[in-house]
Structure 1
Amino acid sequence: MATIQIKGLNKFYGATQALFDVSLDIEDGEFCVFVGPSGCGKSTLLRTLAGLEAADSGSITIDGSDVTHAEPADRKISMVFQSYALYPHMSVRDNMDFGMKVNRFDEATRKERIAEAARILQLEDYLDRKPGQLSGGQRQRVAIGRAIVKNPKVFLFDEPLSNLDAKLRVQMRVELEGLHRQLGATMIYVTHDQVEAMTMADKIVVLNGGRIEQVGSPMELYHAPVSRFVAEFIGSPAMNVFEGRVTSGLTLKPSAQLVGCRPEHFELLAKGDGHIDATVRVKERLGAETLLYLDTGRAQELVARVDGDNEIEVGAEVGLGIPPARLHQFDAEGHALR
């Protein structure tokens, strides 16, 4: 498929800068996820990559060709949007066929590509139905099929699962992962949902205020966040980050102002035996695991993840131990200290 190189990309909307000197390499066949909160620039970056927004400076290279100022149709990309954008009066077959007809593909090629996309997406039995006769997941598969038949170098997905219910989102995540393995294609996927990012990505790009905060594999970001922002954004529940002076018996770096610990890394001990004393305020049973919401007597509430069969009761006083290898330290600006 294609490698992608983005160098020094900047984007303005009038006097407002949306992207700040973004540079990024995406390897051939990678599933790369742009993630971050609303307004962080992830969709703007995707749309600029697609050519739907013009870059104000910097360059975009796809498969060795500079496409910075190329029209979207000349970039060999296909984009799947949050809204399915299907033609309601057309059948599934005609929806997938429309773009190829406009671009004057011969009939034999069109039929072959539609048949292959339908096979991959398990849509053979639905080709003669109209979108209104399909479920949400089936309509999303049609939108993906419309992208597949273009045989692009790069697939771009802009929050494609946002309109689906929770169960269907999980199913479609699995289907997209399978599709990626089957096609071996370069895919870029935008989401605000860090669970989607963690479960689907080869590479995650965390954006914050139009800048890249960190790039890495899901577990690199999980275990070695470069900032408090990444530490609290990646992982559910989020990493506990609190003032170092709340703890006792921990050896901290001189510039450490904040410390962090993932909920599952706390050791549940007797009161007085850990680094922090706390009281169980709320107990949330989730089946295989239980979340304990803990009051430390300060403004900061902590969350600990324990086994689902744990018998600790609300109101119990406990000690929380933090294993040194699981301790994260941050300076006053939120930068990780190594």
Structure 2
Amino acid sequence: MAGIKIDKINKFYGTTQALFDINLDIEDGEFVVFVGPSGCGKSTLLRTLAGLEGVSSGRIEIGGRDVTTVEPADRDLAMVFQSYALYPHMTVRENMEFGMKVNGFEPDLRKERIAEAARVLQLEDYLDRKPGQLSGGQRQRVAIGRAIVKNPSVFLFDEPLSNLDAKLRVQMRVELEGLHKQLGATMIYVTHDQVEAMTMADKIVVLNRGRIEQVGSPMDLYHKPNSRFVAEFIGSPAMNVFSSDVGLQDISLDASAAFVGCRPEHIEIVPDGDGHIAATVHVKERLGGESLLYLGLKGGGQIVARVGGDDETKVGAAVSLRFSRHRLHQFDEAGRAI
């Protein structure tokens, strides 16, 4: 296995710059997730690592070896795409074997690696079936198996679960986490889904407009976002961010604070007049074990509060919101954390 070092990578498409001075260290065996909105550069960054895109400047090292200009086949990595890209006329066994056969692996070694990958991915009963006879989740496991048999130093996943339904996505997330622990491999995973990022990653890399906004563990990013962008992107529901001039009572803010943020679960609903700001309940979503209250603030704007599933607050009720000072996040006019 191998660590990765990305040093001042820039990427241009003609006169358009897609990546700006990307610096990143990935430790051997880490599960790292690149996350961000569409067009933020996460797939472009993954493709430069794979060698499918050249870089305009900068350097990429894998396992201490400079691979900046090395061909994709010689970088000792395997990539799993959003589309399964399986050969429909081949069986599962033949799909998994094809790359090894092209690269001259001995028949006994091919057989051994296919058997091990099939065991790990629970595909032993499907080796003689063709992709058309498999479910979406099974096809995705075959695509992952095709990567495993290469025994690479690094696995790259480009939104591999986006074609699956919600229930299957959850199941495959669990399977990928288990696979990572079993293989101990360095894995880099691209997604626009921050829930996938939070649940799977050792380390999250948040990208925005071709730049890295923040790097850290899931809970570091959740509790200590360094920008308004990260605060609103990480977490579901997103962090509430509202103007600092809405009229919070008895809470002193930094003089440079333009915006204030608070997670939905850090808001206490109290009787009208007993909190830091008045609000009215507009919508209540019951989710079973919890409910979400969508409230209009007296000073303007909307806020979401997470409460218990048995909470009895009614739609239309006039309430007050109470905040813990140490749970509030402050941001300046440019959106940087104070």
TM range (shorter): over 0.9
TM-superposed deviation, 1:101: 0.4
Indicate whether 1:13 and 2:13 are aligned.
Answer: yes
Which residue matches 1:109? 109
TM-superposed deviation, 1:325: 1.4
Question: 1:275-294 residue pairs with structure 2 within 5 A?
Answer: 275-294=276-295
Indicate whether 1:25 and 2:6 are aligned.
Answer: no
TM-superposed deviation, 1:298: 5.0
Indicate whether 1:84 and 2:84 are aligned.
Answer: yes
- CA distance in 2 between counterparts of 1:61 and 1:299 reads 50
More displaced stretch, 32-41 vs 299-308:
299-308
Indicate whether 1:326 and 2:327 are aligned.
Answer: yes
Which residue matches 1:198? 198
| Secondary structure, aligned partner of 1:282 | strand
Which residue matches 1:268? 269
Conserved 8 A contact 2:277-2:298? no
- CA distance in 2 between counterparts of 1:332 and 1:27 reads 35
Unpaired segments ≥5 residues, structure 1: none
- CA distance in 1 between counterparts of 2:264 and 2:130 reads 47
- CA distance in 2 between counterparts of 1:299 and 1:138 reads 49
1:77-104 deviations in Å (ceiling 9; x for gaps): 0000000000000000000000000001
- CA distance in 2 between counterparts of 1:49 and 1:250 reads 47
1:96-138 deviations in Å (ceiling 9; x for gaps): 0000000010000000000000000000000000000000000
TM-superposed deviation, 1:46: 0.1
- CA distance in 2 between counterparts of 1:298 and 1:123 reads 58
| Secondary structure, aligned partner of 1:245 | coil
Which residue matches 1:2? 2
Indicate whether 1:50 and 2:54 are aligned.
Answer: no
Which residue matches 1:310? 311
- CA distance in 2 between counterparts of 1:41 and 1:308 reads 39
> May I ask how many residue pairs the two structures share in their alignment?
337
| Secondary structure, aligned partner of 2:182 | helix
Instruction: Kindly provide the amino acid, as one letter, of the partner of residue 65 in structure 1.
Output: R
Indicate whether 1:159 and 2:122 are aligned.
Answer: no
Which residue matches 1:171? 171
Instruction: Kindly provide the amino acid, as one letter, of the partner of residue 307 in structure 2.
Output: V
- CA distance in 2 between counterparts of 1:333 and 1:56 reads 29
Which residue matches 2:118? 118
Unpaired segments ≥5 residues, structure 2: none
- CA distance in 1 between counterparts of 2:301 and 2:44 reads 34
- CA distance in 2 between counterparts of 1:308 and 1:7 reads 48
1:300-327 deviations in Å (ceiling 9; x for gaps): 2110000011011101111111101101
| Secondary structure, aligned partner of 2:60 | strand
1:178-233 deviations in Å (ceiling 9; x for gaps): 00000000000000000000000000000000000000000000000000000000
Give the TM-score, by structure 2 length.
Answer: 0.99
More displaced stretch, 299-308 vs 80-89:
299-308
Question: 1:201-220 residue pairs with structure 2 within 5 A?
Answer: 201-220=201-220
- CA distance in 2 between counterparts of 1:48 and 1:331 reads 34
Which residue matches 1:245? 245
Give the TM-score, by structure 1 length.
Answer: 0.99
Instruction: Kindly provide the amino acid, as one letter, of the partner of residue 304 in structure 1.
Output: A
- CA distance in 2 between counterparts of 1:298 and 1:81 reads 47
Conserved 8 A contact 2:283-2:315? yes
Conserved 8 A contact 2:33-2:189? yes
TM-superposed deviation, 1:283: 0.3
Instruction: Kindly provide the amino acid, as one letter, of the partner of residue 315 in structure 2.
Output: V
- CA distance in 2 between counterparts of 1:63 and 1:299 reads 53
- CA distance in 1 between counterparts of 2:14 and 2:249 reads 51
- CA distance in 1 between counterparts of 2:152 and 2:336 reads 39
- CA distance in 1 between counterparts of 2:112 and 2:120 reads 12
Which residue matches 1:221? 221
- CA distance in 1 between counterparts of 2:2 and 2:205 reads 18
TM-superposed deviation, 1:297: 4.1
